[in-house]
Amino acid sequence: MKRWRLLTVSSSALLTLLLVAFALGWAGYSYLNQQLKSFGVTDWSIAFERVTISHIIVKRLEVTIDSLPARPGKEPATNLNLTKIFSFEISPLLPERIDIKSLQLKGTLLPDKVSATIKLLNQKQLSLKINSHQPITANLEIIRDDAAIKLKAHYDSNVLDANYNYRSGQLKADASYLLPAQHFADNVSTKPLPVKAQWRGNLSTNINSVSFESISSAISGQLLLSVEKNAEIEIDDSSTMAKGQLKLDLNNGIINSYRLELEGDTKNLISLTESELPVQLTSLSWQLNSTEQPELSLLNAQQAVNDIYWPIRLDIAAKGSKNENISISSRFSGKFSASSAELQSITPAHIELNLLNNTATAVIDSFNVNYPYSEPHNVFAEFGLNIHTNSINYEPLPRIKAAFNSQFRYQQQELVGDGMLLLGDHISVQHHTQINASRIKSKG
């Protein structure tokens, strides 16, 4: 009888414990569901492969998200203390390691189903690794070691490696990015362009609010963007190989100074000029070096680009059908936009000529050109041309000095010039010259 009573009491106690455990579990499950719904999660399921005090392996976790987290009508500005955020303590109840072999995120909010694997190592060195498989293949690793946050990300051929000290604010980052091919017009395009970025500086540990303006005003240091391998730009059938770098010095989000250095070589320029003209462009080498102190916010970088002074050095080579050679060395300032380029001469351009077995020196001054990318046939240019030679090698004339001073205008694919030809000390001839694709016409 006593045994039966003892068994009854024990069974009642066990049932009571089971009921309490079930009630607590159900309450916890309901609370968890309520919290997940506030984050837009409408459904979720989980399957465990292994559960121990030190290691949890989740075989599959599926989460359905159909809405954004609910937010109050107007939120106050949030101050970010990065030191406090990154130095958070991990609960001692959390296992030392958690592996999620298959994470599936889906729902009407997401354009594509997301598939990934996650590893969390909760030790002295906290480590989180995420490998995404769908819709993109990418790897992300975040490590917290002492007072440093290390981030490594890899997507396709794009790589980011950053190190941030959340106590001192020191930030170091290196990245490489493959800029996709660009098409500016039907006949202007670039091939994929490898770009490298380097940041050395600071990110303040205290940020006023969660906004791009506040974050940009919290950074100071030097940003270097570079294209080390030659980038290929195609205009019609011609190609340009270019490389260069851009340096920005920032102080609390303000561009204190910048330096831009670019150089390139353009080949196969014959396709850009009329084949009937006596002299054809064959190559073009150029350098662009610009340094300014704009004192503008990083957010107004476009304004800085519009106001930038772009000094350019050009070296041009042209060749005629009868072995005529022209080489031009000049400096310009330029203005570039998404639709056109404008150039003006800074100093006169010096030209060495070898035409019809005669050598001469020429100077181009007051040069101005407008080149619309999508309408190369509507190029406009005007310039002054002065040619001098000490001796003309031409049978009907004795070896006398000669000078040719003219003003030219190129418009609607026609070159028109007016000026004067001086032969020796006593002969001067005024001229009006027209050159287009089909003819050369000149009268004096």
Q: What is the mean pLDDT of residues 379-383?
A: 89
Position 337 pLDDT exceeds 80: no
d(C-alpha 199, C-alpha 373), whole Å = 33
Enter the tokens of residue 100. Answer: 């999620």
Q: Identify the CA nearest to 61 among candidates 1, 17, 105.
A: 105
Query: What is the residue-averaged pLDDT of the chain?
Result: 78
pLDDT in tens, 41-74: 788 888 888 888 888 888 998 888 887 766 555 5
pLDDT at 353: 72
Cis preceding-peptide flag for 135 (omega within 30 of 0): yes
Torsion angle defined by CA atoms of residues 230, 271, 435 and 386, in that order, rounded to the nearest 10 degrees: 20
Distance of CA 422 to the CA centre of its chain: 53
In eight-state DSSP terms, residue 218 is T
Q: Identify the CA nearest to 325 among candidates 368, 290, 360.
A: 360
Out of 156-165, 237-246, 376-385, which region has the weakest mean confidence (pLDDT)?
A: 237-246
Structural contact between residues 246 and 224, judged by C-beta atoms closer than 8 angstroms: yes
**Cβ-based burial of 384 (10 A; exposed 0-12, middle 13-18, buried ≥19):** middle
Q: Identify the CA nearest to 372 among candidates 407, 415, 342, 347.
A: 342
Element (H, E) at 197: strand 193-203
By DSSP bridging, strand 55-65 and strand 97-106 are parallel
pLDDT at 210: 77
Q: Identify the CA nearest to 319 among candidates 357, 350, 280.
A: 280
- Where does the pLDDT of residue 101 fall: very low under 50, low under 70, confident under 90, or very high at 90 and above? very high
Structural contact between residues 231 and 190, judged by C-beta atoms closer than 8 angstroms: yes
Quick count: other Cβ atoms within 10 Å of Cβ 171?
20
C-alpha distances in Å from residue 411, one per residue of 60, 213, 282, 348, 378? 69, 46, 21, 22, 7
Region of residue 134 (phi > 0: left; psi between -120 and 50: alpha; otherwise: beta) = beta
pLDDT in tens, 390-424: 777 666 666 778 888 899 998 888 889 999 988 87
Structural contact between residues 382 and 409, judged by C-beta atoms closer than 8 angstroms: yes
Enter the tokens of residue 407. Answer: 């003003």
- Where does the pLDDT of residue 142 fall: very low under 50, low under 70, confident under 90, or very high at 90 and above? very high
Structural contact between residues 269 and 304, judged by C-beta atoms closer than 8 angstroms: no
Q: How many CA atoms lie within 13 A of 144 on its CB side?
A: 17
φ/ψ of residue 332, rounded to 5: -135, 165
pLDDT at 166: 92
What 3-state class would DSSP assign to 309? Answer: coil
d(C-alpha 287, C-alpha 120), whole Å = 50
Which amino acid does the sequence have at 325? N
What 3-state class would DSSP assign to 379? Answer: coil
pLDDT in tens, 302-333: 666 655 666 777 777 766 666 667 777 778 77
pLDDT at 5: 42
- Non-local (6+) Cβ contacts of 243 within 8 A are 227, 228, 229, 230, 231, 262, 263, 264
**Where are the chain's structural domains?**
31-67+79-166, 309-444
